[in-house]
Amino acid sequence: MSFHGFRITSVGAEENEISLLRSNASPVWFLRQRLTTQRTMVYITEEMVRGRAEHNECEIFSLEEVSLHQQDIERIEHIGRWCRDLKILYLQNNLIPRIENLGRLKKLEYLNLALNNIEVIENLEGCESLQKLDLTVNFVGRLSSVESLQCNVHLAELFLVGNPCTEFEGYRQYVVASLPQLKFLDGTQISRSERIRASQGLEEVKRRVREQEREYLKTRAREKEEARRKAAGEEKGNEERRPGSDGRWYTDINNTVPALEENKENQEAEENMKKVNPDLEEEQREREFWHTPCSFTPESRLEAHRHLEEKKRAKEKEKEKKPKAPRTLITADGRVMNVNEPKLDFSLTEDEENNMIVLDLGVYRHMDTSLMDVDIQPTYARVSVKGKIFQIVLPAEVKPDSSTAQRSQTTGHLVLSMPRVEGEINVTKAVTRLPRRSQTRNSSSPEDNKRDNSAPQRLEVDPSKSTAIDLANIVTKHLSTKQGPLETFRTDPPPASGPSSSSEGFVDDSDVPPLI
């Protein structure tokens, strides 16, 4: 398999920066890739090691075990000086290309370097107590480099699964014969009979292994040279490339114009498709990247890693551009919303005996109280739990100054006791009344113009123009002399004593009541 489409800017352990270059990429894509792949290397820092020493009270000088896996580390350093008593070191799933700076770890017993970019086993002679070495899925092609482990007399287990050297003919026999102290190779126990068979004919096995190793190194060098040549040709082609979309040189005048017109039509069609579906180009790029065949090399692993890293940065930028809208707690018209962001269980009860409202909030049991903030208002209660808001509308008005907040030591629940206001006024929603319609007859008097439309209007009637019958003075007034049924009766009172001449002819009827 040939090495496909990579440019190696530095191969040594001091500078391990590799930039990606696709042979069929456009100039704009190439420049964008060069900018995105120029990234700083990840080194082992004191803060990184101290942050993983919590079980040792953050002391690193007496640390015996440290895990630095999945940190994108590209070089081993400082560990041998900071952690002299280290016994277990996890460095799997990083981007380490070389084993170095571990010679001072005299007490190191287990070293895990699986899923890295290591090509040679070296610089472990100083690890006198090393018992287990894991190099699973690396790029060890120099099988003869396992002889450097002969100084590690306590080495009992070695893992080389997934390395190119495991495909060599006589691989297991060569390793078993070269390392007599081994007890397990790739998880399989080495029996005494296997060791005896491995020692027989060892010279012939070594000769075959060295021949295969030389062929592998030649292939590896050819792949690197091809990658350099493709990278240099791609750069030169980008500088000298004509505006044509396919990058070809057009020497025939008769064929140039139709070809340019065809390319222009293709570009317009592609632009229209991009306008309809903006993510089409990104999906096509992603599909081409993952479906393009390539050899399994340290460069291809770095390419996949940085491609994923670029996508991660793009997603982070999209999140920064689109910040999350804050949750609405109180609407514009003053209405309080019920919110439960931390998704906590709660109960809201009314204590009639003590005239108070009790809120029981199921806060996490082992969470520190300093991470909570309580705010009680007359009509609602708000609790902030690790930055997440819990808010609830109260059924009655309470006294915030007399309210208390207590935390249960057994369950961790937060209990808010809020006494109700005596004679509280239940707030109702205000109803907006429309103004009354104006009368069809417009008033032109100045008094009517001065009236307030918002005040209630009352109808007033002039007493002199009343048409109702007034019965108040019906008795005191004299009857008129008009003819009628009472015309023969007199309304004047009789004389005080003795009969009078004027009363002659008067007949007293007992059935008729007297007039008063």
Strands 157-159 and 184-185: parallel
CA-CA distance, 207 to 44, in Å (whole number)?
Answer: 40
Where residue 170 sits, what CATH number does that domain have?
Answer: 3.80.10.10
The residues pairing with 415 across neighbouring beta strands, listed in sequence order, are 360, 406
Burial of 234 (0-12, 13-18, 19+ CB in 10 A): buried
| Residue where one domain finishes, among candidates 373, 402, 419 | 419
Residue 242 belongs to a domain:
no
pLDDT of residue 8: 31
Distance of CA 83 to the CA centre of its chain: 36
Residue 238 in any domain: the answer is no
Instruction: Please enumerate in sequence order all residues whose Cβ is within 8 A of that of 165, keeping only pairs 6 or more positions apart, or say none.
Output: 140, 141, 142, 143, 171, 213
Quote the CA–CA distance of 86 and 90 in Å, as a whole number: 11
Low-confidence ranges of the chain (pLDDT < 70): 1-41, 230-231, 234-280, 294, 321-323, 423-510, 512, 514-516
Domain with residue 391: its CATH number is: 2.60.40.790
Give how many domains the chain has, as a whole number.
2
Residue 42 pairs with which residues in a beta bridge?
A: 73
Among 419, 438, 463, which residue terminates a domain? 419
- Domain residues for the domain of 82 are 46-220
- The pLDDT of residue 224: 79
DSSP H helical ranges for 9-78: 27-37, 46-51
β partners of residue 398: 420
353 and 214 within one domain = no
Name, in order, each residue with C-beta under 8 angstroms of 463's C-beta and a sequence gap of 6 or more. Answer: none
HSE-up (13 A, CA, CB side) for residue 252: 4
Question: Is 139 part of any domain?
Answer: yes
Q: Which residues contact 190 (CB under 8 A, 6 or more apart)?
A: 176, 182, 183, 184
According to the model, what pLDDT value does residue 127 have? 93
**Strand (E) positions, 99-253?**
110-112, 132-134, 157-159, 184-185, 188-189
Cα–Cα dist 179/172, whole Å: 11
Query: Residue 376 — φ and ψ, nearest 5°?
Result: -110, 125
Q: Which amino acid appears at position 331 of this protein?
A: T
Residue 409 falls inside a structural domain = yes
DSSP letter (8 states) at residue 267: H
Count Cβ neighbours within 10 Å for each residue of 53-65 and write b for 16 or more, e otherwise.
beeeeeebeebeb
Angle, nearest 10°, between helix axes 202-240 and 192-199?
80
- Asked if residue 183 lies in contact with residue 156, where contact means CB atoms within 8 angstroms, the answer is yes
Instruction: State the sign of the Cα–Cα–Cα–Cα dihedral 214, 219, 223, 225.
Output: positive
> Using N-to-C axis directions, what is the helix angle for 202-240 and 27-37, rounded to 10°?
120
Residues 57 and 195 in one domain: yes
Partners of 339 in the β-ladder:
391
Distance CA 308, CA 315 (A): 11
Quote the pTM value: 0.51
Question: Is 489 contained in some domain?
Answer: no
| First vs last C-alpha separation in the chain | 142
Does 320 map to a domain? no
pLDDT of residue 255: 46
Asked if residue 352 and residue 215 are part of one domain, the reply reads: no
Q: Is 277 helix (H, G, I), strand (E, B) or coil?
A: coil
Residue with structure tokens 């009343």?
466
Q: Kindly state whether residues 212 and 349 are assigned to the same domain.
A: no
Q: Position 40: which residue type?
A: T
Evaluate whether residue 57 is within a structural domain.
Answer: yes
Alpha-helical runs (H) found in 379-494: 446-449
Q: Same structural domain for residues 201 and 350?
A: no
CB-based contact 140:121 (threshold 8 Å) = yes
**Rounded distance, CA 238 to CA 492, Å?**
139
Q: What is the DSSP letter of 336?
A: B
What are the tokens at 149? 């482990």
Chain segment 358-370, per-residue pLDDT in tens: 999 999 888 898 9
Spatial distance between the Cα atoms of 468 and 228, rounded to a whole number of angstroms = 120
Q: Domain boundary at 394, 419, 444, which?
A: 419
Helix (H) or strand (E) holding 488: none
Q: Which of 433, 412, 430, 421 is nearest to 377 (CA)?
A: 421
Determine, yes or no, domain membership for 289. no
Q: Are residues 216 and 343 in the same domain?
A: no
Give the tokens for residue 298. 């340290």
Q: Same domain for 208 and 59?
A: yes
